A and B are shown apart, each in its own frame.
Chain A
């Protein structure tokens, strides 16, 4: 219930944040919304010596902007902002609806997209969606800025490709392809609200109505959020009938050893993943056909 003692700073500028992170990278944690970090600290599962609070950077790091037909989203944008921003609903409704399905109203007021991605909880909702949307991430350190494709970002459970001293600052989403649609289907844990299984599916159709691009990104199932490449391959170039979707969804867990926990066995989780993949694909298809 009570964290161990720690030092705390709330720097006024990004430069100060980066300097602070560079100083003691191993014992320092970044505090954004805090709704993943603080619960862990209260349970004393983690005990950083120092917290660097990003709250004073909200002015520069919380935003949703149009960008080349897509979106640029500041890392400190809250789930609530994603849920309600008209630009998000217009260009990537799947992102708005996923943000609205995270945890509860109070958490959504505080949690941030940057925090969610950097924390890389294997059952976090946003990691699946940004994977399916093929996002590009922007990170900054004292050494400068760089961009990382989302496909390289999730390395392992709670582990990302961010280097020590590096801060995630923005998420870039490309312009949605014409005739494309995406959806997120989540089996919500009745106690924790996390994804027992969460599938984010995106389908883009060609002029003939066949699948030009398929992305199926899954959270809650593997050690980290992943793209179900076998399922995607089964869809690409195919005519998207109900049978095709079902057959593709059957590959949703190929090559992955599903997690096992108190709520769901590996076998049941695998089964749920296939079912929810099919449901996500069906909704994505409906959106793509309506687009």
Chain B
């Protein structure tokens, strides 16, 4: 049984027929070719698959594609605008907030939601907010610094940085 869905991803509307059991993360990766969102576990622990659905951070491995029908999804590929990095992306670069990079898209998308709620987060709020994304490389310290960097830039209304 395939069902029609219409999903807007990074501002582009897509129409597809999908099996109900197709996970949103597989829809994004295998159907749309947006491979920036990653899969790191099978029990919804690791958060590497986090995207924004209607602005809220969601683990796309724990959502069916059919549940996103009519929704607006933002993935890591949709963050940078017109070749300008989002302050979070800039922060991760500046502060060495990534090593292997596999958790990074999930980390950044979760931090997007975190900063929306707490524009001036304490370290504790950042660590608590990122509890649902596992990193095995960085030990989190530079990730905290990256998020703090981004928070400051966002509060200052600083212009976005170039992608390269």
A residues adjacent to B (C-beta < 8 A):
1-8, 10, 31, 34-35, 38-39, 42-43, 51, 53, 55, 80, 84, 103-107, 109-110, 191-193
Give the complex CA separation of A2 and B19 in angstroms: 12
**A226–B117 CA distance with the chains assembled, in angstroms:** 34
Tell me the complex Cα distance, A6–B21, Å. Answer: 7
A interface footprint on B39-52 (CB within 8 Å = 1, 0 otherwise): 10011110100100
Contact assessment for B66 and A106 in the assembled complex, using a CB-CB cutoff below 8 Å: no
On whether the beta carbons of A109 and B21 are closer than 8 Å, the reply is no
A35 adjacent to B21 (CB under 8 Å): no
Q: How far is the CA of A31 from the CA of B62 in the complex (A)?
A: 12
Task: Return the 9 tightest CB-CB contacts between A and B, nearest first.
Answer: A104-B132, A8-B20, A109-B56, A1-B42, A104-B131, A3-B21, A106-B132, A106-B57, A106-B59
- How far apart sit A220 and B3, CA to CA, in the bound complex (Å)? 39
A104 adjacent to B47 (CB under 8 Å): yes
Chain A contacts for B110, CB-based, 8 A: 105-106
Q: How far is it, in angstroms, between the C-alpha of A55 and the C-alpha of B44 when the chains are bound?
A: 20
Chain B residues within an 8 Å CB radius of A103? 132
Does B63 reach chain A (CB closer than 8 Å)? yes
Q: Are B21 and A2 in contact (CB under 8 A)?
A: yes
Residues of B within 8 Å of A110, CB to CB, are: 56, 58-59, 62-63
- A105-B131, A192-B45 known; A53-B67 Cβ under 8 A: yes
Which of A10, A80, A109 is close to B66, meaning CB atoms less than 8 Å apart?
Answer: A10
One digit per residue, 1 when the CB lies within 8 angstroms of any chain A CB and 0 when it does not, for chain B 46-76 equals: 0100100000111101111011010000000
Q: Which B residues are CB-close (under 8 A) to A35?
A: 44, 59, 62
Q: Which residue of B lies closest to A33 (CB)?
A: B62
Contacts of A104 in B (CB 8 A): 47, 131-133
For B57, what are the chain A residues with a Cβ–Cβ distance below 8 Å?
105-106, 109
Contact A38 B56 (CB under 8 A): no
Cβ contacts under 8 Å, B132 to chain A: 103-107
B152 at the interface (CB under 8 A from A): no
Residues of B contacting A31 in the complex (Cβ-Cβ under 8 angstroms): 67
Contact (Cβ within 8 A) A106 B20 = no
Q: How far is the CB of B114 from chain A (nearest CB, A)?
A: 6
Please indicate which of the listed interface residues A5, A39, A84 has the most CB atoms of chain B within 10 Å of its own CB.
A39
